[in-house]
Amino acid sequence: MIVNDSLLKKYDKSDMFTLLKNFPKHCFEGYNFPLPEIGKNFEKIIFTGMGGSAIAGDIIKVLIEDTTEIPVFVIRDYSLPKYVDFKTLVIAESYSGNTEETISSYKIANEKKCLIICISSNGEIEKIANLNHNLFIKIPSGMPPRCAFGYLFFPVYKFFVQMNILPPLEKKFFEKIEKWVNDFSLYSKNNKAVEIANKIHKNILLLYSENRFYPGILRWKTQIAENSKSFSFINVLPEMNHNEIMSFYFPKLLLKRLIVLFIISGIENERIKKRIEITSNIISQKVKEVLKLNIEGETLLEKLIYLIILGDWVSYYLAILNKVDPTEIEEIKILKEEMKKGEN
């Protein structure tokens, strides 16, 4: 199927296209929010959030662990680990401000007298953060949380720049983001996002990367789930080579629909490069198709952001090919309504 204006107008009823196009603006504005200095009086960092609000923590974790000795943890749950104490920096992110898991873990952090930063567009998080005199960053509202990544990630990144933990971002970084978005928003045959979406349409995507790019492939999985209403599966190397490589036998009907995509960053460990090559050769005769994606960018952050931008657009075009509204999340709404029943 060819993606065109008429299909976008028919199925993209809430205009996610414009939100994706505005991603460079979100990133630049997020990075340039005025932020106070918070000092470095902490020994560990915890991100607490769910869904689109947690992915920022996943990326910061990879970046900080690649450059410093500060331990970073991402918690997607109602509680926090026992090691959390007053020497812990807790960053609570909830785009809506009403995510019950994040509110619960925030309250525990507050009881333990952690250094807390809250990021939200409004909601209960804003209220309790202000009540407890926590640092609160208010970001623009009115979009699906999964489309607010620019506002959820870049203010946090800037905090760590101010603390000399992460390097500052130059103008050319944001220029690359704009170029990539422009490239993927043109629905032509030369558009890599459209090409991949067509490949995986009516099939099941199996996505593999090295460990540092796990946040990127996790983003693909969640975006394909919410936007495209489709299954996809992910894993990392070398772990996959110690178990999952034996899975490509049954059920045979599934294997005929598997599109396997290996992420090639160009900065992998040499042993990982060899594992990707050998693994792709082993499974290529067992699945419908094996693809390799060379991601752009010079730094680890650039490569992760490129991968996320591409995945967002792939999931968007796949939604159109699936003839569904990428914004609609009816089952999530039903679940939330059911969870509220019986509450005081």
Catalytic-residue membership of 242: yes
Task: Output the CA–CA distances (angstroms, integers) from residue 195 to 40, 144, 188, 243, 305, in the order listed.
Answer: 45, 25, 9, 30, 19
- Cβ neighbours of residue 332 under 8 Å, at least 6 residues apart? 226
- Which listed residue (133, 242, 252, 340) is catalytic? 242
Residue with tokens 């869904």: 51
Q: Please state, in angstroms and rounded to a whole number, the distance separating the CA atoms of residues 172 and 255.
A: 42
- Which listed residue (10, 323, 333, 336) is catalytic? 336
Catalytic-residue membership of 13: no
Q: Please state, in angstroms and rounded to a whole number, the distance separating the CA atoms of residues 99 and 110.
A: 16
- Which listed residue (93, 226, 268, 296) is catalytic? 226
Burial class (CB in 10 A: 0-12, 13-18, 19+), 121: buried
Catalytic-residue membership of 87: no
Q: Please state, in angstroms and rounded to a whole number, the distance separating the CA atoms of residues 200 and 220.
A: 13
- Which residues participate in catalysis according to the annotation? 226, 242, 336
